[in-house]
Chain A
Amino acid sequence: MPQDEVYEAMSSAFDQGAPVALATVAQTLGSTPRKTGAKMLVREDGSFVGTIGGGCGEAEVWQEAMDALDDGDARMVTVDLTEPVDGEDKICGGIMRIFVEKLEA
């Protein structure tokens, strides 16, 4: 599916000389909200474009993206959607591995 807006945001960040963090779903196991290749781009001010599925998983990945912008290290984040939260079953129940990297012009 089209990732236009993510690349668009990346390009305009680079035009301004700003780095971005890119989170890409690398692998999914079981039922997950987004499939391999889904992307979220995070800017230094914490704003983001695109989605890797929303919910707790996304907040976790957003934090890792902010950390990556800080330390520059690429990392693999595992988001486990199989564990119940607050006694409620999560709707999806799969595991996602997400690659987070800092990119700069």
Chain B
Amino acid sequence: MASSAEIARALLIAAREGPAVASCTVMGATDGVEVALGAKMLVYEDRNLGEIGGGPLEAAVADFGRRAIPKHLVQTCAFTPDGELVEGRRAIEAADAIVEILVEVVEPAATLLVVGGGHVGLAVGQLGAMLGMEVAIIDDREDYANEDRFPYEANVICGDFGDELERFPITANTYIVLVSRGHKVDELALRTVAERGAGYVGMIGSKRRTRTVLQHLAEEGLDPQALDKVFTPIGLDIGAETPEEIAVSVLGEIILVRRGGGAQPMSEHGRMLASIRR
């Protein structure tokens, strides 16, 4: 059995370097249900470390944890002692016996790679830093790629776009935003990153301009499936105009990709009051 130190060290490695793990902790249970309070199981894509009492409950939690990894989930879930997931407050209150499990995906901070240090790149990086992402900004112009320009923690890289992007490590936890000064640079950058399995690639530009870029790269023989995944024109449709508003639209899209929301107003367009009055 894994010791608590072994588990803590595994969590530290997951938080520092990955791969991501779903940490599943027994947090509580209905009186009379026998569980080891605080027992932890780490669920990796291909194996588990530690145990939470075995049986169908452990199997169900492992299965749930495994599916939580790509969703970056952090959530307390309720299961019956024989491993059935119980959802919704009413169902939980109605159930005879419940075991509460905290499922949290532990992984390194996501990387936000911003290609282009102009006004939009500056704002996108700032918002990314605010959201806790590790921000890297690449530009080939010293005026746009120097530490003084960015009033937040960022890895500012000044150099040739192709070379620097070639060198930059890209994983499923890397989110790439192409907002350079022109479509030639965007095209070069996209050529370098499109097929490397980033969590997100978005490219700014009008429909016409971005279509031309995608077409060129497709003709060059880049993987059409990878090109199909590029978010372009970039961002959510919120009518953004200024660089800062565009940054909100872009980071909104990135959160949407990470968390899988519905991208609609949470309200039903102000109709809630009418329904209450009735």
Chain A 1-17, CB within 8 Å of chain B: the 1/0 string? 11110011011001000
The answer to whether A105 touches B4, judged by C-beta atoms less than 8 angstroms apart, is: yes
Q: Is there a chain A Cβ closer than 8 Å to B37's Cβ?
A: yes
Cα A22 to Cα B17 in complex, Å, equals 22
Cα A61 to Cα B109 in complex, Å, equals 26
Task: Give chain A residues whose Cβ lies under 8 Å from the Cβ of B11.
Answer: 7, 10
Number of interface residues, chain B, beta carbon within 8 A:
25
The answer to whether A105 touches B12, judged by C-beta atoms less than 8 angstroms apart, is: no
Given contacts A2-B132, A26-B76, A76-B27, whether A11 and B12 have CB atoms under 8 Å apart is: yes
Cα A23 to Cα B228 in complex, Å, equals 43
Q: Is there a chain A Cβ closer than 8 Å to B38's Cβ?
A: yes
Distance (whole angstroms) from the CB of A21 to the closest CB of chain B: 11
Q: Is there a chain B Cβ closer than 8 Å to A36's Cβ?
A: yes
The answer to whether B74 touches A37, judged by C-beta atoms less than 8 angstroms apart, is: yes
Task: Give chain B residues whose Cβ lies under 8 Å from the Cβ of A74.
Answer: 37-38
Cα A25 to Cα B199 in complex, Å, equals 28
Question: Would you call the interface of chain B mostly helix, strand, loop, or mixed?
Answer: mixed
Task: Please name the residue on chain B nearest to A27 by beta carbon.
Answer: B76
Q: Is there a chain B Cβ closer than 8 Å to A99's Cβ?
A: yes
Q: Which of B4, B28, B74 contacts A103 (CB 8 A)?
A: B4
Given contacts A74-B38, A99-B102, whether A8 and B12 have CB atoms under 8 Å apart is: yes
Query: Interface residue tally of chain A, by bracket?
Result: 20 to 34
Which residues 89-105 of A have a CB within 8 angstroms of B?
A: 97, 99, 101, 103-105
Cα A52 to Cα B233 in complex, Å, equals 38
Q: Is there a chain B Cβ closer than 8 Å to A24's Cβ?
A: yes
The answer to whether A104 touches B76, judged by C-beta atoms less than 8 angstroms apart, is: no
Cα A99 to Cα B9 in complex, Å, equals 20
Q: Which of B12, B27, B75, B76 contacts A7 (CB 8 A)?
A: B12
Distance (whole angstroms) from the CB of A75 to the closest CB of chain B: 8
Beyond A26-B76, A99-B25, A105-B5, list 12 extra A-B contacts (CB 8 Å): A2-B109, A4-B109, A7-B15, A8-B12, A14-B5, A14-B8, A36-B76, A99-B28, A103-B4, A103-B8, A104-B4, A105-B8
